[in-house]
Amino acid sequence: MKIKDKVLIVEDEQSISNFISMILTANGYDTITVRGGEEALTMISSHCPDLIVLDLGLPDMDGMEVLKSVRKWSNLPVVVVSARSYEHDKVEALDCGADDFITKPFGTSELLARIRAAIRHTRTTLSDPRIALSGKFTAGDLTIDYDKHQVLMNGENARLTVNEYKIVALLGKYAGKVLTYDFIIRELWGPKAKADNQILRVNMANIRRKIEKDPSHPEYLFTEVGVGYRMREGD
């Protein structure tokens, strides 16, 4: 199963929202569309998008407030798409944490290029330089392909679910470091998610069955009892 990048489109004009969604879907992205800021914040927590396309002129709250709220807990890439063309609006959005700013009207190619760049930039700034350069993390027989959203064992797709892949991908970015249960839950499911370690344990058990030769004696994913999980360091 190929896991696609998921884009949350926050836009109150239905025609523009439909247009962006159509373009992204045709180019291999999954999309979710919402019209307001409050709904956007809820969807970010519940659906864990890979990128947000954010309009500033929303009916219930200013897009800048959505951006500030997201930046309190996440480095999720945000591309602002707005009719506001004044320099101070662009500067404010970028200062608040937007990865890019596109002024309406915009071209299809420009939108796609800026989305690709924002996702690539996030990978580059958060990850091991080797991941940024190649798009892959390798440790022994395990390879995480961040571009294709796949985990491979001996070159074969391990067929992880979306949540399983996200957990392994996150641990790969911080290979060698212990990530606490709370950190993993917050990064993957947002600040409003319940700190339910059992969900992680179930996912981790399934992951180990798929990638470890002997799940009871793991080679790749280690449990730090009472603290969290750690991926072995890369080659």
pLDDT tens-place string over residues 3-44:
788 999 999 999 999 999 999 999 999 999 999 999 999 888
Q: Is residue 104 helix, strand or coil?
A: coil
Instruction: Taking residues 192-206, report their average pLDDT.
Output: 83
Q: Is residue 196 helix, strand or coil?
A: coil
Q: Lowest mean pLDDT of 31-40, 75-84, 157-166, 182-191, name the range.
A: 182-191
Residue 2 Cα distances to 78, 92, 159, 165, angstroms: 23, 37, 9, 11
Amino acid at 95: D
Confidence class for position 180, pLDDT limits 50, 70, 90: very high
Q: Is residue 160 helix, strand or coil?
A: coil
Q: Dmax of the chain from CA atoms?
A: 59
User: Do residues 74 and 186 share a domain?
Assistant: no
Tens-digit pLDDT profile for residues 119-151: 877 765 555 667 767 778 999 999 999 888 899
% pLDDT > 90, the chain: 66
Query: How many whole angstroms separate alpha carbon 190 and alpha carbon 230?
Result: 20
Which residues, in sequence order, are bridge partners of residue 221? Answer: 231
Query: How many whole angstroms separate alpha carbon 138 and alpha carbon 232?
Result: 10
Residue with the larger pLDDT of the pair 193 and 217: 217
1 in a domain, yes or no?
A: no
User: Do residues 61 and 119 share a domain?
Assistant: yes
pTM of the entire predicted model: 0.76
97 in a domain, yes or no?
A: yes
pLDDT, residue 1, reads: 55
Q: Is residue 216 helix, strand or coil?
A: coil
80 in a domain, yes or no?
A: yes
CATH number at residue 153: 1.10.10.10
CATH number at residue 119: 3.40.50.2300
Which residues, in sequence order, are bridge partners of residue 54? Answer: 10, 80
Residue 191 Cα distances to 68, 77, 86, 126, angstroms: 14, 16, 33, 19
